[in-house]
Chain A
Amino acid sequence: GAVVSQHPSRVICKSGTSVKIECRSLDFQATTMFWYRQFPKKSLMLMATSNEGSKATYEQGVEKDKFLINHASLTLSTLTVTSAHPEDSSFYICSARDLYRASDTQYFGPGTRLTVL
């Protein structure tokens, strides 16, 4: 149980294009999902907290117009990197909290490797 998936696992795009990353909780409902960014050999940095049915809360320094987050259902949150540039290349990881059990534990997706050329 408590499986989180991400799609795609890897994406390469041209500079200036937009990329959408999906995060799904497969076997549980998640009112809250989190989006993290991880640079090579670095820790995870929280980008935003995604709440089902409401606007996401962004961390300081994260451009909300560049990293669009939508959490339309209890099992799906999407992160859209708009007008991507090479500096946006990174490993993006989402996590989700199980609404009904062990709500203090976050379960992480496998990550999405974004490369912007």
Chain B
Amino acid sequence: AQSVAQPEDQVNVAEGNPLTVKCTYSVSGNPYLFWYVQYPNRGLQFLLKYITGDNLVKGSYGFEAEFNKSQTSFHLKKPSALVSDSALYFCAVSALSGYALNFGKGTSLLVTP
């Protein structure tokens, strides 16, 4: 079975500072890893994914994530946070391509002006 852990309920960062949202995973075999963002009362928007290849994945809105196999982590990062980045972020994993996703509990990101 696969699972994802997001250890932080909330991350606070000042606008313009770098941000990191943490995610660790557990899966047998090669993981398919995803980051999604959710704004209030909205569905999830796809940010980026890691399937194979380069460990540093670049996604939408300036976000990137680094896949670290030895630490089983897939942390989401952005060099300079914007107030509009404030939202709920979900890390998700699938053991097989195209199969249902197992989501982390979500991390609320608050970017203050």
Which A residues lie at the B interface, using CB under 8 A? 4, 6, 32, 34, 41-44, 46, 49, 91, 93, 95, 97, 103-111, 113
Partner of A109, one of B43, B51, B103, B106: B43
Give the contact-size bracket for chain B.
20 to 34
Q: For residue A107, which residues in chain B have a CB less than 8 angstroms away from its CB?
A: 46
Residue in A93, A105, A113 whose CB lies within 8 Å of B34: A105
Residues of A close to B49: CB separation below 8 A: 104-105
* Cα A34 to Cα B98 with chains together (Å): 11
Contact B43 A93 (CB under 8 A): yes
Check A93–B44 contact: CB distance below 8 A.
Answer: yes
| Interface 1/0 per residue, B86-106 and A, CB below 8 Å | 000010001001101111111
Tell me the complex Cα distance, A34–B45, Å: 15
On chain A, the residues within 8 Å of B106 by CB distance are 41-43
A34 to B104, CA, bound (A): 17
- Kindly state the separation between the CA atoms of A111 and B36 in the bound complex, as whole angstroms: 14
Closest 9 CB pairs of A and B: A108-B44, A110-B43, A104-B97, A108-B43, A43-B105, A43-B103, A111-B43, A103-B98, A44-B103
A106-B103 Cα distance, complex, nearest whole Å: 13
